[in-house]
Structure 1
Amino acid sequence: MLKTFFVAASGIIALLYLLNPGMGIFELMPDSLPLVGNLDEAAAAAVLIAALRYFGFDSTRFFSARRSSPN
């Protein structure tokens, strides 16, 4: 129960961070830093994907090749 709450909370926080409603006011690392500026967004995306996977949403099917049925 507590683990589910923390996973859901971290997923929601990651989603809000990615949506960035503060328009850049709150940034862990500014995007203007070369090479490391987007690492915070990558980490938030990884947390969001992990939270979705915990709740059974498999995002890999969106990125896999579609198999066509033989005719």
Structure 2
Amino acid sequence: MSIDESLIQKIQVQVDSVFAEMKSQIKSLRDQPELLDNTLNSLWYEFYDEFICFGSRLADLHLILPNEVPQLSC
């Protein structure tokens, strides 16, 4: 498996996990719209922050070690 394939696979696992958690929260909080909205906002921004951090680390790492795959969390 090439680095690109490994990286794509790791990103896919993380994205799938976030959306599975969102789906779970939608099912469990559908009768509480305000709490659901806050929970989904929190999950989304946590994912967004981690993804931006990961992208930044990936860019930095490729400048230093072009063949390394960074960890997905900061």
TM range (shorter): 0.3 to 0.5
Question: TM-score w.r.t. structure 2 length?
Answer: 0.35
Question: TM-score w.r.t. structure 1 length?
Answer: 0.36
Q: Which structure would you say has the larger Rg? A: 1
